[in-house]
Amino acid sequence: MSEGRRLEVLRAIVEDYVHSREPVGSKALVDRHHLGVSSATIRNDMAALEEEGLIVAPHTSAGRIPTDKGYRLFVDRISDVKPLSSAERRAIQALLESAGDLDDVMDRTVRLLSQLTNQVAVIQYPRLGRACTRHIEFVLLAPQQVLVVLIADNGKVEQRVISLPDPVTDEELSDLRSAYLSELAGHPLDSVGGLLRNGLKDARPGTEAIVPPLSAALESLAAATQEERILMAGTANLARSTMDFPLSIGPILEALEEQVVLLRLLSEMQQDARGISVRIGHENPYGSLAETSVVATGYGPGSSAKLGILGPTRMDYPTTMAAVRAVARYLSRILAG
């Protein structure tokens, strides 16, 4: 039996099943693919593939579908990730380059990736611990109520409304903002707490009572930028794929909602030589995701943050891998620029 033909038969079964969602039989393979052999030979190849656990009969019909092991062999045999079309690349570049701050970039990225793949797209916010303070703003909403805004040098914006023990004027707030900027501008966000621990050096006389709550708010906003966060889009795509989840889609939706499982999984996934990571079905260590596949890659400095997609094991792996890698590369360029 030809090893090369056996792999071609597996590839054809994967491609046909992904396209049709129907079990694939030997006659369909002969009709749709130029394998150069008879249906009887193809049946023998399929029997060998089934014996190896690469395909399985979902019921008593002659058709077969890939197993997790079969998908894994198929994915591993993809020698190179195909590039996206010129039109797709231009669309990605135009959409991401016109984004505003970091939140806008993240939102556009995850929605774009979901649209390109028709799957659930997930993006992990970059770790911002070493980002620095670029600007601080205090907005007086009422005599004892202030909106505190902290802007990082990578465009991340955090804000919070706080109450003060004493009334404050716009002039006093302006002076305090200048004092905080003098103290914090250009310093890493993870050093804000230490810098403010001993008070504010240039605080205006008479504002001593309102400095502690302002400092506490800034320290809290700086800490918030270091929390691990993910953003998702396209969850409705799972609802349109319920036939791909014979057990229940409920645990998958719960895992997406909790986000902790996804954060752990993304942090554990290691890229291969193609710059991509693929977890298929039961390769996922979390039972709630055992009927899904996750395709992810790193982006940004050191590729420490991840973006990717989650969907049924019956997915177009070559196209999905290409989309994930292309979007990650454009995002890395924008964040570096």
What pLDDT score was predicted for residue 140? 94
> What is the C-alpha to C-alpha distance for residues 99 and 94, in angstroms, rounded to an integer?
9
Q: Report whether pLDDT(165) > 70.
A: yes
Ordered by start, the domain boundaries in the chain are 3-76, 86-126+228-336, 133-224
- Segment 90-103 mean pLDDT: 80
pLDDT at position 199 is 80
Rounded Cα distance between 80 and 321, Å, is 10
Is 61's pLDDT higher than 70?
no
Q: Does domain 86-126+228-336 have CATH number 3.20.20.60?
A: no
Q: 3-76 with 86-126+228-336: one CATH topology?
A: no
Q: What percent of the chain has pLDDT over 70?
A: 95
Using CA atoms, how far residue 153 sits from 47, 179, 196, in Å, is 60, 19, 19
Q: Which pair of tokens denotes residue 246?
A: 């014979």
Which CATH fold would you assign to the domain 133-224? Answer: Enolase-like; domain 1 (3.30.390)
Q: Which of 162, 332, 323 is nearest to 234 (CA)?
A: 323
pLDDT recorded at residue 129: 53
More confident residue, 54 or 266: 54
- What is residue 48's predicted lDDT score, i.e. its pLDDT? 93
Which residue shows structure tokens 């993870």? 190
Q: What is the mean pLDDT of residues 16-39?
A: 86
Q: Structure pTM?
A: 0.72
CATH says 3-76 is which class?
mainly alpha
